[in-house]
Chains A and B, each alone.
Chain A
Amino acid sequence: MSVVLEGDGRLAGGLVLPARKAQSASLPIAETPLPAELIYPLGADAGGDTEPAVRLGEHVLGDQPLVRARDGQPVLVHAASSGRVVAIEPRPVAGGEALCIVIEVDGRDERLACTPPNEALLRDSETLEATLAAAGLAGLGGAGFATGAKLAAAQRQGLRALLINVAECEPYLSCDDRLLRERAPAVVAGTRAMLTLTGCPAAVFVLEDDKPEALAALEAAIGQCPDATALSIVTVPTIYPSGGERQLIALVTGEHVPAEGYPPDIGYLCHNAGTAAALATYLETGRPLTRRIVTVTGGGVAQPRNLDVRLGTPIAELIRVCGGYRPEVARLIVGGAMTGRAIACDEVPVTRSTHGVIAATAAELGNRGETVACIRCGECAEHCPAGLSPQLLHGATRRQDDTGLADLGLFACIECGCCDLVCPSHIPLTEQFRVAKRRVWLGEMERERARLAEARYAAREHRLAQRLAEREAALERRRRAARDPAASSAAIADILRRARGDNDPGSRDA
């Protein structure tokens, strides 16, 4: 194969975490029955903003787009089944509330007729980006970046290698593991499609070394491909967060993505295995993305397992399918244990980026204990996979020293949570950095607004001063005219002439 892999397979920093994957990884993926309601938050993504494309009371079919672009080119959302729009109102989502389109499912599960896209047209990067955004394809690994935008950027910039991320480094999660075990051919098909679309010569599947069954299934699927030489597999040690995009690229290739740039800048592109499978499904059927695999697990749920879920399904439904809660349940987490969000109620719907639902018990969560002052032990820096010094960032967040925060690389923080787990002072570092980032962003926006307002104010002041000066000058002219008898009689004559209706400017000058 044509790609040179020079990564030493060693992550800078990171942590060996309790895996807790076995409980959910042992059972096959199960289908989730059609829920009574499907809930779709209206969202914005890096590509643009959306607005509802359906009216209250409207009947919708499965695969019908529910939103349209308000600006830019956002990834669209589609109904996962047929039914009636019964509400467009704020509903709880991970991280708060958002305007949602709620569909009461009619149980007939009728769908729009779809035709596969013309792959030849997708060679044009703008068409590719627009088509995949309209088909609802976004990264299923958690970050949810638009698949079309990533592939289009890669198509334009040219790739040395495509990395398919199956590291699945977060504890508890096993959806990618199960996906490979059960549907490796779809992942390989999607990967090959990505190679074709981007004109990339080689793809590398990257797995953590704790998934032997997935590895075997993947090898078998690759073995059945005609162009198997373009596809290879690399296993990396099971160290969190090896599956972070930048960390994965460094692990495998030995190269660092520039802090201000993206992987295609250095010739690589990283896609999650689930995204590859979703792309394959779309290219084959033309049907948009309306389902994903979700790991439902934790000591607080009766039967942990992976579910094939329609997007929009409330999490309560997933828990029900898994046998309900155990009495010990203490916290409900959407996403992984390291980066996921705790939610206050289980009416939150599954979205594209919901790779896991963890019903955790108090024992699994541990007791964080009292936060005390930083003792500068530097363990956070030893474990930071982004090469940061969280202990210094912590000081700068306390001082609200935004320049210091930027100098220390706050925006290179991937919010992986490693520093929190090794901090003997139990400081919620990751949360502090999240808040600080938001504050700096808001501050920048505020400064920009202030700058515009100041410019507007200055322009207005200037305008007013100019008008005043003009008025003063006119007044002065008139005063001078009043003092000058010749001029004043001429003016009187002028007025008289105008009163007679003779306002020919030529005669006035005469």
Chain B
Amino acid sequence: MRFETAAAPHLPVQASVPRLMRRVLWALAPAAAAHLWFFGPGLAFNLTVAVVTALAAEALMLRLRGRPLGPGLADGSAVLAAVLLAFALPPLTPWWITATGSAFAMIVAKHLYGGLGYNVFNPAMAGYAVVLVSFPGQLALWSVAAPGGLAPPALDVGQTLAFTLTGRLPDAVTLDAITQATPLDAMRSGLAQLQTLSEIRAVAPFGGPGEQAWLWINGLIALGGLWLLWTRAIRWHIPVAMLATLALLSAVAAAIDGDRFPGPFLQLFSGAALIGAFFIATDPVSAATTRLGRLIYGSGIGALVFAIRSWGGYPDGVAFAVLLMNLVVPLLDRHTRSRPFGT
């Protein structure tokens, strides 16, 4: 009898890239639901535009590079990058901004660097950074939080779609009426006007649905992240290092000057720190790959987020922190190799 041969091991492989990507997407689902609940249907349109653009750009690049379309489109990496970009964008973002960011992420950040596995920069954050510096005005506006409501002051589904597609608001509705500063925005502008933190936190978005929305979304993101840790889709080193560094630095700063530096809780739960720690910085391709390297990589991101938020030009800083640390990855991998057994 003749048999086919193959190399050992002769047991089923236990993981796959598409399964990994799908798991990460599922982990974001509860936070997406909370996002829709508080900020209206904007995220749904952003997701649609970002995902469709990403898949189209992915297909185009795979075709140009002479690669098979099927596995590339099915591996879920383009969808995940698009979803993370959509989460980073304000709910009311004109479609062409979303599409530009998504296309840049796929075409430049991913495929020009060699495609999945070879990209130096986190594609979602590269796409977001490009539209953030290109269209700062449009990206500074965040929807007002209106729990469960699609009525004024929030826009309904049709009005949101109209704004996304044409940038036009219904008559008698001003942009001011439907947007509100995010907590980090409010702190940044308040501090610039020499207000103390306790003064800033006495007014909206603090104390109302604006603050609640961020707590809910970030809480659910943390839960999703813990589920990813539990199922071993990600390892603990990057999120723990990043969050611990950010918390530690903000605790020290708040202890020194509580009027100007928000404490750890506010730092972790009011911006993109948690989604950054569990979902963005853990993108394995652009992150360090050794254990020690990941601890340093995560800490670096945490420290940079703290620095950008405290002294930089943007209210949040996760995207730039991740991109800057992406640059350090080859060095980290080279100098933090594990020790082989018996050496």
Contact = CB atoms under 8 A, between A and B. Distances in A.
Interface of A: 12, 17-18, 171, 246-247, 250, 256-261, 316, 325, 329-333, 335, 337-346, 358, 360, 364-370, 372-379, 381-382, 385-389, 391-392, 407-409, 412, 415, 417, 420-426, 428, 430-431, 434
Interface string B11-35: 1111111011000000000000000
B340 A259 contact: yes
Contacts of A417: 8-9, 11
B11 A257 contact: no
Contact of B10 (A333, A372, A379): A333
Contact of B284 (A331, A346, A376, A385): A376
Contact of A346 (B1, B9, B287, B294): B1
A327 to B, nearest CB: 11
Given A259-B342, A346-B1, A386-B341, A378 B290 contact: yes
B115 interface: yes
A385 B339 CA distance: 11
A392 B116 contact: no
A340 B10 contact: yes
Interface of B: 1-17, 19-20, 71, 75, 77, 115-118, 232, 235, 284-285, 287, 289-291, 294, 333, 337-343
Contacts of B118: 373
A358 B10 CA distance: 10
B340 A342 contact: no
Contacts of B10: 331, 333, 337-338, 340, 342, 358, 360, 365
A389 B3 CA distance: 34
A343 B5 contact: yes
A378 B284 contact: yes
Contacts of A409: 340-341, 343
Nearest to B339: A387
A363 to B, nearest CB: 9
B84 to A, nearest CB: 15
A372 B4 contact: no
Contacts of A18: 11
Nearest to B4: A331
Contact of B3 (A335, A342, A372, A377): A342
Given A342-B4, A345-B2, A426-B16, A372 B11 contact: no
15 contacts: A18-B11, A337-B8, A337-B9, A342-B6, A343-B5, A344-B5, A367-B12, A368-B12, A373-B117, A376-B117, A387-B340, A388-B341, A392-B290, A409-B341, A428-B7
Nearest to A358: B10
A382 B290 CA distance: 9
B129 to A, nearest CB: 21
A391 B13 contact: no
For the complex of A and B, list the 9 residue pairs with the smallest distance between their C-beta atoms, beginning with the closest. Answer: A366-B12, A373-B117, A409-B340, A417-B9, A431-B7, A259-B342, A412-B340, A342-B5, A424-B15
A445 to B, nearest CB: 23
**Among A346, A370, A391, A408, residue most surrounded by chain B Cβ atoms (within 10 Å):** A370
B16 A424 contact: yes
A331 B15 contact: no
Contacts of A261: 342
Given A342-B4, A374-B117, A422 B14 contact: yes
A425 B2 contact: no
Given A246-B341, A331-B4, 12 more contacts: A316-B1, A343-B5, A346-B3, A367-B12, A368-B13, A372-B71, A373-B118, A374-B117, A389-B337, A392-B290, A422-B14, A426-B13
Contacts of B290: 378, 381, 389, 392
A166 B12 CA distance: 25
A259 B343 CA distance: 6
Contacts of B284: 375-378
Nearest to B20: A424
Contact of B333 (A256, A392, A412): A392
A379 B15 contact: yes
A387 B291 CA distance: 11
Contact of A373 (B1, B7, B116): B116
A373 B75 CA distance: 11
Given A339-B8, A366-B13, A430-B9, A389 B289 contact: yes
A341 B8 contact: yes
B11 A422 contact: no
Contacts of B1: 316, 325, 345-346
Nearest to A428: B7
Nearest to B343: A259
A375 B343 contact: no
A331 B6 contact: yes
B117 A425 contact: yes
B13 A421 contact: yes
B341 A375 contact: no
B33 to A, nearest CB: 27
A256 B340 CA distance: 11
A424 B19 contact: yes
Contacts of A415: 8
Contacts of B16: 369, 424, 426
B158 to A, nearest CB: 40
Contacts of B235: 378, 382
A468 B249 CA distance: 80
Contacts of A408: 337, 340
Contact of A375 (B9, B116, B338): B116
Contacts of A378: 235, 284, 289-291, 294
A370 B71 contact: yes
Contacts of B341: 12, 246-247, 250, 256, 259, 385-388, 409, 412
